Structure 1
Amino acid sequence: MTVEDGGSGSEYTLASSGRMNRTGANGASIDGNDDLVGSTATGQVDGDADSYKFSGALVVLDVDGDATVRLNGNQVDSDDYYDNVLTIGGPDSDANYSLSTSGRLNRTGANGATVDPNDTISGTTATGQVHGGVDSYKFVGELTTIELNGNATTLLNGEAVTDSSQSPVLGIHSGISDTNFATIDRIEEWQDAQYPVQTIFIPWNSDEGHLNWLFDYLLPRIWDAGRIPLITWEPYTPGVSAASVDTQAIVENQEYSAYLESLDTTTPDDIEVRIANGEYDGYLKTWVRRLRQWLAGPDGEQGTDDDRRAYIRLAHEMNGDWYPWSPTVGNSSASSYVEMWRHVHDQFRYSGIDTANIEWMWCVNAEDQGSYTAEELYPGDDYVDWLSVDGYQWGTSQDWSSWRSPEAVFGNMLGRVRNLADKPVCIAETASSSATSSGSDPARKDDWIRSAFEYFDDEGVDMWCWFNEDKETDWAMFNGRHGTERVSYDGDRVNAYTAYREGVDSYSGAGAATSGATPLTTTSFNGE
C-alpha cells in the first residue's frame, strides 16, 4: 500500500488484519511523523509518499487531505473502509471493558486480536474481556467512551487513550434560545470536547403550547445534538395569562429568564404543600405521560435502542430563601418539602415510565440561607439518584460578597451531602465573576477556573455544569463581557477564558456522542 501526497499535505491512518511493516517500495520514505504500532500505521505525507506491506485484509483507512492511496497498484477509496482501529490488551492484560463510538462499529482481527463469547457488540457499544491477549475493533467517527476495569493497554490508531470513566461528566447551561444553542456548538469546537449534558430551566406550566414546545421541540433538539437534558424542574406555577404565552417567541426574543422570574408573583407560597396534597396531579400525569413518550424515542416503545434519557433536578436550592418552594420563604416546612418530592417521584414510579432512563438529582445551595438545613430537606435514599450542589464565586460583584476559593465555596456542603448517602455527586451550577474592588480582573477569574477544575478532580466530583450566561454578574466563560483571549464566532471576535478551554480539553475522553447516538454509557449516566 502506498500513500502519495496530492500536493497540499495529508494525514492518514491504516490498519490490516495481519502483520504490517514499512517498505521503501515506490520511492516511499519514512520519517519522524510516521508511526507503526502492531498492524496500525499513522503518518503524514507532504510532497512525498509512504509505503507499507501487510498480510491479511485492509480493515481501516482514513485519509485527511488529497492524498492518493494505492493498494497493489490500484487506487482505493477511504470511504469504503472504517476510519479508526482500537486495540485493548497485551501480553499481561487481564481486564473487562466497555466502549462506545459515534459511528458504526465492528470487530477486526487486526493486531492479532481474538474474539470470545464474553465480547459483545450492540449497535455502537461493545463490552468484553481480555486475558493475556488483544481485542480489536474498527469504527467510524469518534470514540465517545472507553471504560476499563483491570490491567490492559488501550490504543486508538496506535496512540494510548485514557479511560473516560476517570473523567467527570461535563455539562453546560447557556440559555435555550437558537442563538445560544449555536453558542454551545461553538464552545465545543473551541475547547475540543463535547458536552454530554445540557442544563435547562422549566416551570410547571400546564399550557398545551408550552408542553408542545418542551417535548416536541426543545428536548428533541438537545438529544439530537448529542446531549442529555438536565431538566431543572422549577415549581413556578403561572397564572392564566402567563401560562398561555408563546414560549418559543419569548425564547427567541431573549426574554425567557425574565419570564421565569416573573412567575414568582403567581406561585403560591405554600406550593409544596399543594403539590403534596395532590392539587397538581392533573398536570403531573400529563407531564409524566409526555416525558414517557419522549423517553421511548421515535419508535414509541420503551426498552429499545432508540430510548432517550434525562436528569430531573426538582425544586433546587430549597435550603435558600429566594424561591417560593423554599420552606424558609413559603407557608410550609421541611417535612412538606420532603412530602412534595416523594409525591412527585411516586407519580413517575406508578406511571410505568422506564426508570432506567431517568435519574433524580437532589440539589442544594452551597450554603444554608434560611431556617432549614440541607439535611432536613433530604427526601431519602429511595427517592434520590444524584446528590448535587450549586455554588458560585461572586467576587466583589455584590455588596455582601468577596473572593472565595473553590474549597471555601463548596467544601463544607460537599462533605455534608456525602455524609447523607453514598451516591454520585454533581456540581449542578457553578461559575465565577471577574469583579474585584478595582474593577474587572479576567486573569484572576482565569486562575479561579483553573483551581476549580483541580479541586473538582481532587474531590472526585462525578459531574459538573458551568453556568455560561452573564446574569447577576459576568458568569460566562465564552461570549461574555470579559475574557483572557479572543475567539472568532459568528463573524465577530468574542471573549473567552483560556483556563476553561485548557481544563476541559483534558476531559475530552468524557465527551458526548454525535447526533443520533446515545450520550454517555449507562455506567456514566448513573454516575457509577
Structure 2
Amino acid sequence: MTRKALLPLLVALLTLAGAAGCGLFDDDPAAKAARRPAAEASPAERPPYDVTPLLHPARKYFGVAVDGAPSSMKPVDDFARAVGKRPDMVGSYSSWGDGFNAEGAKNVFGAGGILYVSWEPFKPALGEIADGSQDAYIKRFAESVRKTDVPVAISLGHEMNGNWYPWGTEKTPAATFVQAWRHVHEVFQEVGATNVIWVWSPNVVNPVPAVKLRPYWPGDAYVDWVGVVGYWSSTGAHTFDTLYGPTRRQVAAFTHKPVLISETAAEPGERRRADVRGLLQGVEQDENVIGFLWFNIPKRADWRIQSSPLALAEFKRLIADDAFGFEVPRS
C-alpha cells in the first residue's frame, strides 16, 4: 500500500482513538490513571483491603495484648517464644482523641496478623459523638485507617453494659451508645475506610445481670463480630459455659454474628491451669467462636501467662493445636 493510500486510514484511526477519550498522544493525568494497572495505582486510587475473608476464618484467631505492642513487635515475639506459637491478632487501647497507630497496624500486618483496637471514649460524652460535634476527629482517624490500607478490628466503647466506664450504664443511656456507634460507623463508610472489622464488645453479663444487652445493639449492618469480654477469676465462673454462656444466649436472641472472646485471661492461683484448659478447649470446640484475645498485662493482677509455669505449660500444649492460627491473606 502506498503512503498516499495509508493517509486516510491513519486519519480514521486517530479519529476513533480521540472519540474513545484515549488518544495516542493523550497526556491527561486522569486518562493515564484510568489506564494504569491496579497494582500500579496509588494508595488513594486502590480499593481498601477487603476484610470479607477474615470475618469467618478457617481456623481460630489467637490474639494477645502485651505492653509495648504494636509500636514494637518485640513483646509479641517474646510472648510467641514463650507459648510456642505466634499470635495472629494483637490487642491495643486507644483513648478518644488519640491518632490512629498506623505504624503499629502495619507492624502487626507485616507479621501476619490483625491489629485489634479498643477505642475508649473517655471524653467527650457519647452524646457529643452522636450529634456530629466530633466529626473532624472521626474523619481524621478514619482517613488514617483508610490510608494505612491493612485490616483493622475496632471495638468502640467496650463493656458498655457495665458501670465502670463513663460510656457505661451509669452515665450513658443505651440509645445514646447506639446513636454514637452508628454515627462513627457511617463516617468511616463515607470516608471509604471499609478495611475495618467492627467488634461490639459487651462484658459478660454475670456481674450485671439486670442490664439487658439488646438495647445496646447497633444492628447487624453496623457490626461484624460480637466480642465478649470475660476473665476467669479465682472466685467466679469456672467453666466455659458458665462464664460466657449467659451472655451468648442473650446475644443469640437478636444476632448470629461470629463471636470472638475479645478480652480474657485467667487469674493466678490454684485454678489457673484448669481455667486455661477451659478457655482454649472451649474456643476450639465451639464452632460459633472464632478465637480469643489473651490480656497478657499485669493490671490489678498478674495476668501474664508466663507468671505461672504450670498454666504456661498447659497453654503451650493446647495452643499448639492446628485449630489455632489463622493466616491473614495479603489481599
Band the TM-score falls in, shorter-chain normalisation = 0.7 to 0.9
Q: Residue 505 in 1 paired to residue 320 in 2? A: yes
Equivalent residues of 2:142, 2:191 under 8 A apart: yes
Shift of 1:520: 4.3
Q: How far off is 1:457 after superposition?
A: 2.4
Change (3 A) 1:177 1:184: closer
Name the residue aligned to 2:282: 455
Equivalence for 2:263: 429
Q: TM-score, normalised by structure 2?
A: 0.76
Residue 361 (structure 1) aligns with: 199
Matched letter for residue 383 of structure 1: Y
The amino acid of 2:218's aligned partner reads: P
Q: Conserved in 2, the CA contact under 8 Å of 1:273 and 1:336?
A: yes
Deviation of the 1:511 alpha carbon? 4.5
| Matched AA of 2:299 | K
Shift in Å at residue 272 of structure 1?
1.1
Q: Which has the larger radius of gyration?
A: 1
Q: Deviations over 1:217-238 (max 9, x none)?
A: 32222222222101111112xx
Q: Which moved more, 1:463-472 or 1:181-190?
A: 181-190
The correspondence for 2:85, drawn from 166, 189, 193, is 193
Is 1:223 aligned to 2:109, yes or no? Answer: yes
Give the match's secondary structure for 1:184. Answer: helix
Q: Structure 2: how far apart are the matches of 1:199 and 1:483?
A: 23
**Cα contact 2:264–2:295 (8 A) shared by 1:** yes
- Contact 1:194-1:511 within 8 A present in 2 as well: no
Contact 1:171 1:196 in 2 (8 A): yes
The number of equivalent residue pairs is: 275
Aligned to 1:419: 253
1:462 Cα deviation from its structure 2 partner: 0.8
Where 1:393 maps in the other structure, the secondary structure is coil
Q: Please give the root-mean-square deviation of Cα atoms over the aligned residues, in Å.
A: 2.5
Q: Any conservation in 1 of the 2:60–2:324 contact (CA below 8 Å)?
A: no
- 1:315 paired with 2:157, answer yes
* 2:133 alignment partner in structure 1: 279
- 2:121 maps to 235
- In the TM superposition, what is the alpha-carbon distance from 1:415 to its structure 2 partner? 1.9
Hey, what does 1:171 align to over in structure 2? 63
User: In the aligned structure 2, how far is the partner of 1:464 from the partner of 1:411?
Assistant: 15
Percent of aligned pairs sharing the same letter? 26
- CA separation of 1:198 and 1:381: change in aligned 2, threshold 3 A: same
Partner of 1:47: none
Take 2:70 and 2:255, find their aligned partners in 1: how far apart are those partners?
A: 39
Distance 2:253 2:330 in 1: 27
CA gap of 1:420–1:521, structure 2 versus 1, over 3 A, is: farther
289, 295, 309: which one aligns with 1:483: 309
Distance in 2 (alpha carbons) for counterparts of 1:483 and 1:509: 21
Of residues 331, 336, 346, the one that matches 2:176 is: 336
Q: Identify if the C-alpha distance between structure 1 residues 320 and 509 changes in structure 2 by more than 3 Å, giving closer, same or farther.
A: closer
Paired AA for residue 203 in structure 2? N
Q: Which amino acid is the alignment partner of residue 477 of structure 1?
A: I
C-alpha spacing 1:351/1:174, structure 2 compared with 1 (3 Å): same
Structure 2 residue aligned with 1:324, among 166, 173, 179?
Answer: 166
- Structure 1 counterpart of 2:309, which letter? G
The CA distance in 2 between the partners of 1:338 and 1:179, in whole Å, is 31
Aligned structure 1 segments of 4 or more residues deviating by more than 4 angstroms? 177-180
Q: Which has the higher strand share?
A: 1
In structure 1, what residue type is equivalent to 2:111? A
1:482-505 C-alpha deviation (Å, 9 max, x unpaired): 332xxxxxxxxxxx6111001110
What is the rounded CA distance, in whole Å, between the counterparts of 1:423 and 1:412 in structure 2?
16
Partner of residue 228, structure 2: 389
Deviations 1:56-103 (A, max 9, x none): xxxxxxxxxxxxxxxxxxxxxxxxxxxxxxxxxxxxxxxxxxxxxxxx
Amino acid aligned to 1:280:
Q
* Cα displacement string for residues 339-397 of structure 1 (whole angstroms, at most 9, x for unaligned residues): 010000000111123x2x221111110116286421110000110111110001111xx
Matches within 5 A, 1:32-51: none
Residue of structure 2 in register with 1:404 after alignment: 238
Identify which of structures 1 and 2 has the higher relative contact order when contacts are C-alpha pairs closer than 8 Å and 6+ apart. Answer: 2
* Aligned positions of 1:465-476 closer than 5 A: 465-476=293-304
Helix, strand or coil: the match of 1:474? coil
Determine if contact 1:174/1:469 at 8 Å carries over to the other structure.
Answer: yes
**How far, CA to CA, are the matches of 1:402 and 1:285 in structure 2?**
41
Aligned counterparts of 2:89 and 2:241: Cα–Cα separation in 1:
24
Distance (whole Å) between structure 2 residues aligned to residue 198 and residue 287 of structure 1: 19
1:183 equivalenced with 2:75 (yes/no): yes
Q: 1:349 aligns with which of 189, 196, 203?
A: 189
1:495-521 CA distance string (max 9 Å, x none):
x61110011101376254xxxxxx248
SS at match of 1:360: strand
- Bigger drift between 371-380 and 276-285 goes to 371-380
Structure 1: gaps of 5 or more residues: 1-122, 124-146, 148-163, 237-266, 296-307, 396-400, 436-440, 485-495, 513-518, 523-528
Matched residue type, 1:233: W
Aligned mates of 1:418, 1:389 — CA distance in 2: 13
- Aligned residue for 2:243, secondary structure, equals helix
When residues 521 and 428 of structure 1 are mapped into structure 2, their CA distance, relative to the original with a 3 A threshold, is farther
Specify which structure has the higher proportion of helix: 2
SS at match of 1:233: strand
